[in-house]
Homo-oligomer: A and B are copies of this chain.
Amino acid sequence: MLVCDRIVRRDPSPAAEGAVRLRVALLGYGQVGSAVARLAARSGAGPGAAVDIIGALVRSTASRSACCPLTTEAATLVESGPDVLVEALGGAEPARQIVLSALERGIPVVSANKTLIATHADELLAAAERGGTTLRYEAAVIAGVPFLGTLGRRPYAGACRRIEAVLNGTTNFILSELEAGAPDFATALADAQRRGYAEPNPAKDVSGADAAEKLVVLLRHLGGLNATVSDIPTSGIGGITRPDLVSARDFGGTLKPVAFADWSDGCATAFVGPAFVPATHPLSTLHGADNGIRVYSEHLPPVLFAGAGAGPDVTAATILDDVIEATEATSSANHSASRPAFASPDRRDRDCRPQAARRTSWFVRLESKDPLPAAEIADLFASYGVWVHRTTDWSRRTALPTTWLLTHPCAGTSAHAALSALSSATGCIASRWPSLESGR
Contact = CB atoms under 8 A, between A and B. Distances in A.
A343 B224 CA distance: 37
A117 interface: no
A376 interface: no
Nearest to A156: B317
A373 interface: no
Q: Of residues A1, A156, A270, A355, which shows the largest number of chain B Cβ atoms within 10 Å of its Cβ?
A: A1
Copies of this protein in the assembly total 2
A83 B260 CA distance: 39
Q: Of residues A5, A226, A233, A345, which shows the largest number of chain B Cβ atoms within 10 Å of its Cβ?
A: A5
Nearest to A284: B285
Interface residues on A, range: 35 or more
Interface string A197-240: 00000000000000000000001100111111001110000000
14 contacts: A1-B412, A2-B271, A4-B269, A6-B228, A9-B347, A10-B220, A10-B226, A11-B346, A15-B155, A46-B155, A146-B150, A301-B314, A304-B306, A328-B335
B314 A47 contact: no
A184 interface: no
A320 interface: yes
A418 to B, nearest CB: 15
A20 B337 contact: yes
Contact of A15 (B18, B263, B340): B340
B10 A154 contact: no
B338 A270 contact: no
A224 B282 contact: no
Interface of A: 1-15, 18, 20, 39, 46-49, 144-147, 149-151, 153-159, 219-220, 223-228, 231-233, 260, 263, 266-271, 280, 282, 285, 287-288, 292, 299-308, 313-314, 317-318, 320-321, 324-325, 327-329, 331-332, 334-335, 337-338, 340, 343-349, 352-355, 358, 360, 412, 434, 440
Contacts of A360: 1
Contacts of A154: 48, 146, 321, 324-325
